[in-house]
Chains A and B, each alone.
Chain A
Amino acid sequence: MSEHLPSPSVWPCTVAGGFTLLAFGILSSLALSLLGLLLMVVGLAGWIRELRHG
């Protein structure tokens, strides 16, 4: 059993939010999709950074 507990992270929520905006943009506007894509990229970068330092 691992001795370490995972730290809280804002990135899963960020990536999910980005993914949602990306998809919701299909129904509304391309700008929303682009914003979602940006949010996803930022979120994934943060997620990977945490994994590296975790």
Chain B
Amino acid sequence: MTTLAPPIPAPAVEPLRPTGLLRWATTVDHKDIGILYLLTSCGFFGLGGLEALLIRIQLAVPRNTFLDPAAYDAVFTMHGTTMIFLVVMPILLGFANYIMPLQIGARDMAFPKLNAFSYWLFLFGGLVLYFSFLNGSPPDTGWFSYAPLSEKPFSMESTVDYWAVGLLLTSAGTIATGLNLLVTGVTLRAPAMGWFRMPVFTWMSLITGWLVLAAIPSLTAAQAMVLIDRYLGAHFFDVSHGGDPVLWQHLFWYFGHPEVYIMALPAFGIISEVIPVFSRKPIFGYGVVVASGLAIAFLSVTVWAHHMFTVGLGDVADAVFGLSSMAIAVPTGVKVFSWLATLWGGRIHLTVAMLYALAFLVQFTIGGLSGVHFATVPVDWHTHDTYYTVAHFHYVLGGGSLFAILAGTYYWFPKITGRLLDERWGRRAFWLMVVGFNLTFFPMHILGLMGQPRRTYTYPDLPGWGQLNFAESIGAFLMGVGVLVLVWDLMRSLRHGVPAGDNPWRAWTLEWATSSPPPAMNFVALPPITSPRPLYRPAEGDVAEVAEAPRDPSRHWRAPIVGILAFIFSEATFFGALIVAFLEYRTRSPGPGPHELDVPRTFIFSLFLFASSGTVYLAERQLARDNRRGFSIWWMASIVLGAIFLIGQLTEYARLYADGITIGSNLFTSAFFTLTGFHGLHVFIGLVALAVIGGLAAAGDFVGGRRRVAVDVVSIYWHFVDGVWVIIFSLVYLWGLVA
């Protein structure tokens, strides 16, 4: 052990902390919130698992009547929705919440209160989803909720509404968590931790944060459109008025495919921690592993339409998306080879965590290879709506992500609780899970190729179908027993497990440099950080590594500024989705169109909004000179100018409605009112923020440059809102004038 860095000073006065339930309701500590995510997700996993068993009972024999078609639709919809939004994604976010700040030597996440807010939104969204069962209207249109099935004429009950509102809430929480992960990784690294001294798990969490911001707002926008269709009579996906169900698929899968990597990248991060530690060898090709994670994230937003080959997109689109889907297999394959090369020549310790990691390696590769099949368009046409697809995505998300989660559970449980899980019980659970998983899902490849359709509540008694389905159901119950054994191990070890000590695995990342569980402040002192493995000790039996050149960390970015830029990025995705819908529907249906708009009048009101960006800038300059009066004048002018714009927009709406032009008139008005309406909502929120800052300034909050960053954040947001209007005004009004 080399010398430690200077101790981190303890807080002068430790604030009074609540206890019991109030402690959990008010906590903003990343470790507590990580635990809340993990426990809540485990609860939802129980529900999702129960739904899976109901599905397998129904499908155990041909022509079964255990569940009627409606019940089956609800159960399989909620199984998919639960496992994706309430289990796999939040468990991985829970690990990232708990582990990432520790791995970078930080006290907490960048925005601890926002972190707590994210968790509560996730929980409440999940509760809204499941409240639908009590109300007798559980979602039943599939986790993808394809249009036009999700439209009123086909789903009169509140089923789709619960699905959309529940997921809007959880998605908002997830977006905030993604933002927090990104900003934490960028701004809160320990002073000596440069970009390329971050552990791989932290890298993958950071990249996942970016991907969340890039992808999920597309789903949010699409869900908003569905709700507007259902409640305000718009026609985005209403075929009878020319609405396009394929637009839903584009918006959904633009989110849906990156979502796969949102659930896979943190899993890759876990595996990249577990395999090296239990091979006693640094990960092979650290830089390439990180770079391939970045490549996967960027490519993942270019492949969405491979979920839509059967729609009939045309040869060019099929070719482009087929190629991009094949391309994403390359960085994924790089990771697999990197893990294999790490194992090669290492001193393998077959702990339960390592067993799960090895099973991940095999199963994820199987899932990845069948994924390449879907990139081949003609193969996709034949297998898309069969159980071959079900096998594929369960090998990726179950055999891959879920097994990585289990590896992470055995790896980090000692850090979180201070006790080791029992390896004997762990092995029993492991074998039940491996045998059960493969017995459940491998035969689906065969049944899929034999033509068994997915998403149907029963199947005919064709040769071999009954036997293979029965075997799958046995496998599902074996997994269920495996989960029970795992829960037993967790409960038992929590009370009677062997004390773990600080670093039971002799691991190398910073979370192992503190006590188990870590203290409130996380660290008393940080060890020297000269690589992604600050605790690496070749002299103690670790395989030697080549020293890396030190890099200069980026230390100049302030968390609130990075945070608002990240937020704007997610907002850009949201508005991008709305703009795509507008462009699609601009001139598609008869009736009111761009020619109905009063362009000169709107231009005048737009000038007020554009001018408000200038006055905000002038106000900031006055604040920099500590001129409070000058700041207040220009700031107030910004509020007035923004309010005039908003009044102009409202009077335009009033005029259009007076002329009988409503959101339900046709596709143009649906897209026009939605796009401009959401922008107006953003202007309103911006005005509230401006008013709050104005009030704080009047109270003397920003004297002498104090809390100046709050003004900067609101200013940036306001400029963004103005910038979006430049695009909207050009596309909606000016283009209409020219056309």
Total residues of chain A contacting the partner, CB 8 A: 26
Find chain B residues with CB under 8 A from A3 CB: 8-11
When chains A and B are docked, how far (Å) is the Cα of A24 from the Cα of B166?
8
Closest-by-CB residue of B relative to A3 is B9
Instruction: Select one of A2, A10, A15 contacting B26, CB under 8 A.
Output: A10
- Shortest C-beta distance, B29 to chain A (Å), equals 8
When chains A and B are docked, how far (Å) is the Cα of A52 from the Cα of B699?
11
Contacting residues of chain B (228-270) with chain A, CB-CB under 8 angstroms = 231
Q: Is B495 an interface residue (CB 8 A)?
A: no
Instruction: Select one of A4, A17, A26, A48 contacting B11, CB under 8 A.
Output: A4
Which of B117-125, B277-285, B405-413, B465-473 is the contact stretch? Answer: B117-125
Instruction: Select one of B17, B121, B692 contacting A16, CB under 8 A.
Output: B121
CB atoms of A9 and B701 under 8 A apart: no
When chains A and B are docked, how far (Å) is the Cα of A42 from the Cα of B114?
16
Find chain A residues with CB under 8 A from B206 CB: none
**Given the contacts A4-B11, A9-B116, A27 and B158 also touching, CB distance less than 8 Å:** yes
Instruction: Select one of B107, B162, B692 contacting A27, CB under 8 A.
Output: B162
Contacting residues of chain A (8-41) with chain B, CB-CB under 8 angstroms = 8-13, 15-17, 19-20, 23-24, 26-27
Total residues of chain B contacting the partner, CB 8 A: 47
CB atoms of B124 and A16 under 8 A apart: yes
When chains A and B are docked, how far (Å) is the Cα of A3 from the Cα of B10?
6
Find chain A residues with CB under 8 A from B231 CB: 26
Q: Is B327 an interface residue (CB 8 A)?
A: no
Find chain A residues with CB under 8 A from B18 CB: 8
Closest-by-CB residue of A relative to B168 is A23
Chain A facing B: main interface SS: helix
CB atoms of B124 and A5 under 8 A apart: no
CB atoms of B108 and A5 under 8 A apart: yes
CB atoms of B117 and A16 under 8 A apart: yes
Q: Is B564 an interface residue (CB 8 A)?
A: no
Closest-by-CB residue of A relative to B191 is A1
Specify which of A8, A10, A17, A47 lies most central, judged by the most chain B CB atoms within 10 Å of its CB. A8
CB atoms of B108 and A27 under 8 A apart: no
Q: Is B112 an interface residue (CB 8 A)?
A: yes
Specify which of B27, B116, B707 lies most central, judged by the most chain A CB atoms within 10 Å of its CB. B116
Q: Is B350 an interface residue (CB 8 A)?
A: no
Closest-by-CB residue of B relative to A25 is B165
Q: Mask for B96-126, Cβ within 8 A of A = 1, else 0?
A: 0000000001111000111111001100110
CB atoms of A6 and B120 under 8 A apart: no
Specify which of B15, B121, B125 lies most central, judged by the most chain A CB atoms within 10 Å of its CB. B121
Q: Is B128 an interface residue (CB 8 A)?
A: yes
CB atoms of B124 and A1 under 8 A apart: no
Find chain A residues with CB under 8 A from B114 CB: 12
CB atoms of A23 and B169 under 8 A apart: yes
CB atoms of B120 and A5 under 8 A apart: no
When chains A and B are docked, how far (Å) is the Cα of A6 from the Cα of B117?
14
Instruction: Select one of B117, B169, B521 contacting A15, CB under 8 A.
Output: B117
**Given the contacts A27-B162, A52-B696, A8 and B27 also touching, CB distance less than 8 Å:** yes
Q: Is B172 an interface residue (CB 8 A)?
A: yes
CB atoms of A19 and B121 under 8 A apart: yes
When chains A and B are docked, how far (Å) is the Cα of A16 from the Cα of B14?
27
CB atoms of B227 and A20 under 8 A apart: no
When chains A and B are docked, how far (Å) is the Cα of A16 from the Cα of B480?
34
Instruction: Select one of A1, A2, A4, A12 contacting B116, CB under 8 A.
Output: A12
When chains A and B are docked, how far (Å) is the Cα of A10 from the Cα of B24?
10
- Shortest C-beta distance, B403 to chain A (Å), equals 32
Closest-by-CB residue of A relative to B105 is A1
Find chain B residues with CB under 8 A from A52 CB: 696, 701, 707
Chain A contact residues, CB within 8 Å of chain B: 1-13, 15-17, 19-20, 23-24, 26-27, 47-48, 50, 52
The 10 A-B residue pairs with the shortest CB-CB distance, nearest first, are A16-B120, A12-B116, A12-B117, A8-B26, A20-B124, A6-B112, A7-B15, A16-B121, A6-B28, A13-B120
